[in-house]
């Protein structure tokens, strides 16, 4: 079965520091991959997605993620954290065989220290 | 404002009562989804619908019923609420444009079952 693993349920970085949120997927065929962000008391919104085009994907708010097939990873990065980046981040995978279902990771809460 | 809305935003009910959560989208998206979000589990798919009058089970369908008589509405009913159904429920929708399509989420309904 397809799955996605987010390493670290909570990550804390200083304002201005590099943000790195880790995501690994299990799939025999490269799937479609997504990062969603959830701000407090809100629904999820798409940050970026990989759909088998460029392996380095740029998203909103300065985030980007790199698809590495050899490592089955899709880590999310941002060069310089802002206080407004504090939120919960979800990695998600849509298996190639699925026309509709997305499988979400358990989420990583990002905290930003002043 | 167009988009995807959920009602109510907050609900307290008692064990054994029937509860219906509403979801409405204005984009005429083909696909609609219901997820529940619980600490440590991320989002888990309850039911989804590919079009009006077409629904299918997700990962955790037990105790829930859905219907989709109109494209824009996708209500979720808890037939006899249990404490384990205390959760935050999110509705989402997406276009039928391929496997890389984005899901758009509503703001969520916080349900407490006493």
CA distances from A12 to A4, A17, A109 (A): 21, 10, 8
**CA dist., res. B114 & res. B95, Å (int):** 37
Q: Calculate mean pLDDT across residues B44-60.
A: 92
Half-sphere exposure of B68 (CA within 13 A, CB side): 24
pLDDT at site B97? 53
Residue A41 pLDDT = 84
What is the average pLDDT across B15-38?
Answer: 95
Counting every residue written for chain A, the total comes to 114
> Which of A7, A43, A60 would you mutate first to test chain B, the one with the most B CBs within 10 A?
A43
Subunit contact B99:A98, Cβ cutoff 8 A: yes
Q: Which candidate from B44, B94, B106 shows the least CB-CB separation from A43?
A: B106
Is the pLDDT assigned to residue A16 strictly greater than 90?
yes
Q: Is the pLDDT of residue A31 over 90?
A: no
Chain B closest-CA separation from residue A32 CA (Å): 6
Confidence of residue A3 (pLDDT cuts 50, 70, 90): confident
Distance set, CA B59 to CA B5, B43, B51, B64 (Å): 23, 10, 19, 12
Q: Residue A19's closest CA among A94, A75, A70?
A: A75
- What pLDDT does residue B5 have? 94
Q: Band of the pLDDT at B99, cuts 50, 70, 90?
A: low
pLDDT of residue B2: 63
């Amino acid at each position: 079965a397809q799955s996605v693993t987010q390493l670290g349920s909570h990550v804390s970085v200083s304002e201005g520091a590099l943000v790195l949120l880790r995501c690994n997927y299990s799939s025999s065929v490269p799937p479609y991959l997504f990062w969603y962000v959830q701000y407090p008391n809100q629904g999820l919104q798409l940050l970026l997605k990989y759909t088998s085009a460029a392996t380095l994907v740029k998203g909103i708010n300065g985030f980007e993620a790199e698809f590495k097939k050899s490592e089955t990873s899709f880590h999310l990065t941002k060069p310089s954290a802002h206080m407004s980046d504090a939120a919960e981040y979800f990695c998600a995978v849509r298996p190639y065989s699925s026309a509709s279902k997305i499988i979400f990771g358990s989420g990583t809460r990002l905290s930003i220290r002043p | 404002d167009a988009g995807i809305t959920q009602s109510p935003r907050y609900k307290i009910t008692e064990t054994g009562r029937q509860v219906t959560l509403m979801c409405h989208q204005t984009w005429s998206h083909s696909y609609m989804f219901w997820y529940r979000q619980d600490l440590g589990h991320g989002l888990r798919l309850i039911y989804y619908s590919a079009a009006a009058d077409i629904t299918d089970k997700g990962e955790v369908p037990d105790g829930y019923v859905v219907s989709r008589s109109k494209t824009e509405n996708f209500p979720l009913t808890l037939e006899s609420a249990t404490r384990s159904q205390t959760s935050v429920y999110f509705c989402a929708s997406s276009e039928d444009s391929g496997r890389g399509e984005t899901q758009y989420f509503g703001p969520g309904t916080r349900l407490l079952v006493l």
